[in-house]
Chains A and B, each alone.
Chain A
Amino acid sequence: ARMKRARVHKQPCTVKELEVSVSELGLGYVSDETVLFRYCSGTCDAAVRNYDFSLQSIRGKKKIKKEKVRARPCCRPLSYDDDISFLDSKNHYHTIKEVSAKDCGCV
């Protein structure tokens, strides 16, 4: 079981999908309509570059102190899915953009 869990953790950055209600998106819309929410998930170990090592090292030597820096690549959407339209509980239509990921990558 542990082996399996470890393997899951090592899964590289990819698109995953989940069926959620529009209300669950937390954007303030109230609707029972179900939409497909695609998100990016996974590790970016393979995408670590010399940049990341160098940044870590330099930060470690306290050369960078007050700034917020990220010394690891991050699994994020490279582009977003088509717009999502739905009818809300008051029978008004809404269209929302860039809610769901289309492609993911380590950036």
Chain B
Amino acid sequence: MHLMLYFPCSHLFLALTTLPLFGSTYLSWSSQTDCVHANEQCTADPSCSSRYRTLRQCLGGRDRDVLLSSQECKTAQEVVRDSALHLCRCRRGMKKELQCLQVYWGIRAGLADADEFYEASPYEPAALRLSDIFRLTSISSGAEGVSSKQNACLDAAKFCNVNDICKKLRSAYISTCTSGGADRICTRRKCHKALRTFIERVPLELSYPLLFCPCRDKPCAERRRQTAVPDCSFMRPEIPNCLEIWSGCRQDSVCRSRLADFVTSCQSSPQSASGCVQDNYPACLTAYAWLIGFDVALNFLNSDPHSLAVGPWCTCNGSGDEEAMCERYLKTFTENTCLRNAIYAYGNGTNIVPTQNVPKSPRTTISTRTERRLLPDNQSDSNTQYEGNSDICSSLQDMKNANLTDLTICVSEAQLNTDFTPELRTKDDQSGVSHLRASILYIILVIIYSAAVFP
């Protein structure tokens, strides 16, 4: 189940709507390796490894800005930009996740985002489909008879309790987070750790229903609010300043990554019918869930079943002259249409993301005739999405300009793998890639052939 979280083809969703902010970072996703691997690749290559070492020295130095403007550092940056390191990503809960994230942010330090609040996520986007995460909803409304229809959160607790891993890890965080008893003195740090373990290890068919259960009445909504034991993990006697907790979070590679992932995956858009820039509810729910166990985590703010009011435990009071900026950032959490719709849709068990909203890329211009011939028979030609394989595109474009008239080909990977079913894609990943290579090779051969025949 967890495998699907890391389904590598997820960029196909993103490619549709990549915002200028995150621009090129989502392009040619499948060529990306994880940063631990990319780091090893670079180390194995003498020129990359020496440049990378130089870059790290440039970034690590005391006079960073001065160093970075030096020619040597600039060259190092360029070399690293061209290596696999530049586009590498990490997977949530992967082996060596911390190391991976450190490599990611290590390079980012040199290629900084314009706005440090809106940083691009170092994680591969979660590519679950709603049907995957809805599995429990269908179980509880189906054959299992015993469910209490009124209180979905109670059902969620039941499903967790009858599963050994879920029961154990839920119990572990609850007992840790309530260890202070009536005094409400708990070890917040240990509570956070136990919560993170719960989120990382429990299958999301069991954890999401606890976090996002739909409620019609107050007891249910209160139970939902209580899920992460907010008395210990969320609330504090004093409300801290948001800018402080965000900058505190950025000191820690993992927290910084989870925050960036939330900002990326739950980015709202009034234009999109789903409310999400990426039209990907599961990605936003995942980003929300993986924030739990950090100071920047969100929680339901009240037990009103209809409000869906969520937010972090912080305030913009005391931000000084940065208060307006703080308020703007805070709205990313408190007035997040994408997140709200995602929670709502999750509760409803329906996917309200319309598919016709998908914009077609101007660069996918294959005439039907050519396409039929070039694409493998089992690939449908609907849902074509541009997924920038710019190198191939431009080189083919060059060839075309050099007197090749008829064959205007710029095939993106997405078109060659139009089957979006994650299960299939994970299984057929290897063959999919080789298929792509074969197809590209075929296209090039066709071009060369036609160039030779019709000069």
Assembly CA distance A93 to B158 (angstroms) = 15
- The count of chain B contact residues (Cβ–Cβ below 8 Å) is 22
Assembly CA distance A86 to B168 (angstroms) = 12
Tell me how far the C-beta of A11 lies from the nearest C-beta in chain B, rounded to whole angstroms: 23
Assembly CA distance A35 to B163 (angstroms) = 10
Knowing A93-B178, A95-B174 are in contact, say whether A82-B168 is a contact too (CB < 8 A): yes
Interface string of B130-153 (1 = CB under 8 A from A): 000000000000000010100100
Tell me how far the C-beta of A104 lies from the nearest C-beta in chain B, rounded to whole angstroms: 16
Assign chain A's interface to a size class.
10 to 19
Residues in A neighbouring B178, C-beta threshold 8 A: 93, 95
Contact assessment for B146 and A93 in the assembled complex, using a CB-CB cutoff below 8 Å: no
Contact of B226 among A19, A32, A84, A91 (CB under 8 A): A91
Q: Which chain B residue has the least Cβ–Cβ distance from A95?
A: B175
Knowing A19-B146, A91-B223 are in contact, say whether A34-B229 is a contact too (CB < 8 A): no
Assembly CA distance A93 to B226 (angstroms) = 9
Contact of B161 among A36, A93, A95 (CB under 8 A): A36
Q: Which chain A residue has the least Cβ–Cβ distance from B148?
A: A32
Residues in B neighbouring A83, C-beta threshold 8 A: 171-172, 175
Assembly CA distance A95 to B146 (angstroms) = 24
Contact assessment for A35 and B161 in the assembled complex, using a CB-CB cutoff below 8 Å: yes
Contact assessment for A87 and B157 in the assembled complex, using a CB-CB cutoff below 8 Å: yes
Q: Which chain A residue has the least Cβ–Cβ distance from B153?
A: A87
Tell me how far the C-beta of B157 lies from the nearest C-beta in chain A, rounded to whole angstroms: 5
Assembly CA distance A33 to B170 (angstroms) = 13
Assembly CA distance A85 to B157 (angstroms) = 10
Contact assessment for A84 and B154 in the assembled complex, using a CB-CB cutoff below 8 Å: no
Tell me how far the C-beta of A103 lies from the nearest C-beta in chain B, rounded to whole angstroms: 14
Contact assessment for A85 and B158 in the assembled complex, using a CB-CB cutoff below 8 Å: no
Contact of B162 among A36, A87, A91 (CB under 8 A): A36
Assembly CA distance A36 to B222 (angstroms) = 23
Contact assessment for A85 and B175 in the assembled complex, using a CB-CB cutoff below 8 Å: yes
Q: Which chain B residues (172-228) contact chain A, with CB distance < 8 Å? A: 172, 174-175, 177-178, 222-223, 226
Tell me how far the C-beta of A53 lies from the nearest C-beta in chain B, rounded to whole angstroms: 39
Tell me how far the C-beta of B150 lies from the nearest C-beta in chain A, rounded to whole angstroms: 10
Residues in A neighbouring B151, C-beta threshold 8 A: 32
Interface string of A18-57 (1 = CB under 8 A from B): 0100000000000011111000000000000000000000
Residues in B neighbouring A82, C-beta threshold 8 A: 164, 167-168, 171
Contact assessment for B229 and A84 in the assembled complex, using a CB-CB cutoff below 8 Å: no
Assembly CA distance A93 to B170 (angstroms) = 11
Assembly CA distance A95 to B223 (angstroms) = 16
Knowing A82-B171, A93-B174, A95-B174 are in contact, say whether A34-B223 is a contact too (CB < 8 A): no
Q: Which of A33, A34, A91 has the most CB of B within 10 A?
A: A34
Contact assessment for A19 and B154 in the assembled complex, using a CB-CB cutoff below 8 Å: no
Residues in B neighbouring A86, C-beta threshold 8 A: 157, 161
Residues in A neighbouring B158, C-beta threshold 8 A: 19, 33-34
Q: Which chain A residues (85-103) contact chain B, with CB distance < 8 Å? A: 85-87, 91, 93, 95
Top 4 closest pairs, chain A to chain B, by CB: A85-B174, A34-B158, A85-B171, A95-B175
Q: List 9 A-B contacts (CB under 8 A).
A: A32-B151, A34-B154, A34-B157, A35-B167, A84-B161, A85-B170, A85-B171, A85-B175, A87-B223
